[in-house]
Amino acid sequence: MRRQLRSRRAPASPYGYRYRLDDQDEANQNYLADEEEEAEEEARVMVVPDLEEEEEEEGQEEEEEEIEEEKEEEEGQGPPTGNAWWQKLQTVSEYLWDPEKRMSLARTGQSWRVMIRPFAHSLNFNFNVSEPDTWQHYVISLNGFLQGYNDSLQEEMNVDCPPGQYFIQDGDEDEDKKACQFKRSFLKNCSGLEDPTFGYSTGQPCILLKMNRIVGFRPELGDPVKVSCKVQRGDENDIRSINYYPESASFDLRYYPYYGKLTHVNYTSPLVAMHFTDVVKNQAVPVQCQLKGKGIINDVINDRFVGRVIFTLNIET
């Protein structure tokens, strides 16, 4: 079991993830593989005996030692693998923090931060409808990204949980958590199922909005948070119509809270697809997509990804 634990750590290293961002094409294939691999491993992981809720400071001290050792490990001076207490310590550290109570996590900003897909190194979407080369990489990126949302996969791995409420899973913090299904087909015209070019070939691009994962974060109950996009500066009529999928244009509560990637392995971030069906062509249109709802902050100046995202569309024909 311990060996497995360690092997599970490997894909958690930043390399796998970064690949996904940098090199969409290849990484997208890997993404699924990663997830599967992890899932398999996860399945084999035995439940680690209960860890009592620790005093914060105690926890911190242990963490500190742990870090020291991890650093040493990095430098290749780590103790031998067979050392029992070392492994024990590692096990402890893996599950040290309490994701629910977020004891060892100090992230202050518990607000919606969003990001869009396709990711293309910048937030300017420039393409020429008649030249597939200019938009092909968007399509590949989206396609890759949505592999994990394939209906078959979702049905196989995840559960269909009731909408409109948190999907709270009690139990030990180190217990594997189930994830709610978010099927690719929810995205309708932007799922790439019917139109494999996600509308780029017709000058009606799809852009997916996803929320940054925050461990333990729960959106406020009540009215679901809605997405709405409009022209940020300039003529409002530059965008004449936008379709949102799912039609509610909101993130359902059942996808929250997130328990962290160690236990919540198959978690699929909910998405809202924005289908810009009628945008002025041949000019740059700055678009601001905001989250609207109770208690949503979307006007922070320093961080322009809090509750909103700003990008430009420049569709040439």
Q: Out of 146, 206, 209, 215, point to the residue binding another protein (CB under 8 A).
A: 215
Quick note: the x/- pattern for another protein over 4-23, rule CB under 8 A, is -----x--xxx--xx--x--
Stretch that binds another protein, among 175-183, 218-226, 282-290, 301-309 (CB under 8 A): 301-309
Extract the tokens encoding 166: 């948190």
Using alpha carbons, select from 114, 146, 127 the residue that is nearest to residue 288.
114
Q: Rounded to an integer, what distance in angstroms lies between the CA atom of residue 175 and that of residue 47?
A: 6
Site for another protein in 68-87 (CB under 8 A): 68, 70-71, 73-74
User: What's the Rg (C-alpha) of the chain?
Assistant: 21
Question: Shortest distance, CB of residue 74 to another protein, whole angstroms?
Answer: 6
Using CA atoms, how far apart are residues 191 and 268, in angstroms rounded to an integer? 15
To the nearest whole angstrom, how small is the minimum distance from the Cβ of residue 258 to another protein?
Answer: 7
Q: Does 55 sit near another protein (CB under 8 A)? A: no
Alpha helix positions (H), 223-309: none
Binding flag, residue 121, another protein (CB under 8 A): yes
- Order of strands across the sheet that contains 114-117: 114-117, 206-211, 271-279, 239-245
Site for another protein contains 107 (CB under 8 A)? yes
**3-state secondary structure (DSSP) of residue 284:** strand
Within 252-271, the residues that bind another protein by CB under 8 A are: 258, 260-262, 264, 267
- Give the nearest distance from C-beta 262 to another protein in angstroms: 7
Q: How far is the CB of 166 from another protein (least distance, A)?
A: 18
**Strand bridging mode 271-279 / 239-245:** antiparallel
> Distance (Å, rounded) from C-alpha 268 to C-alpha 258?
10
Helix, strand, coil % in the chain, rounded to nearest 5: 35, 20, 45
End-to-end, the C-alpha distance of the chain in Å comes to 58
How far is the C-alpha of 172 from the C-alpha of 55, rounded, in Å? 17
Q: Specify the stretch interacting with another protein by CB under 8 A; choose among 40-48, 64-72, 129-137, 199-207.
A: 64-72
Q: Which of 7, 40, 109, 156 binds another protein (CB under 8 A)?
A: 109
Site for another protein in 163-192 (CB under 8 A): none
Site residues, another protein (CB under 8 A): 9, 12-14, 17-18, 21, 56-57, 60, 63-64, 66-68, 70-71, 73-74, 97, 99, 104-107, 109, 113, 115, 121-123, 210, 212-215, 258, 260-262, 264, 267, 302-306
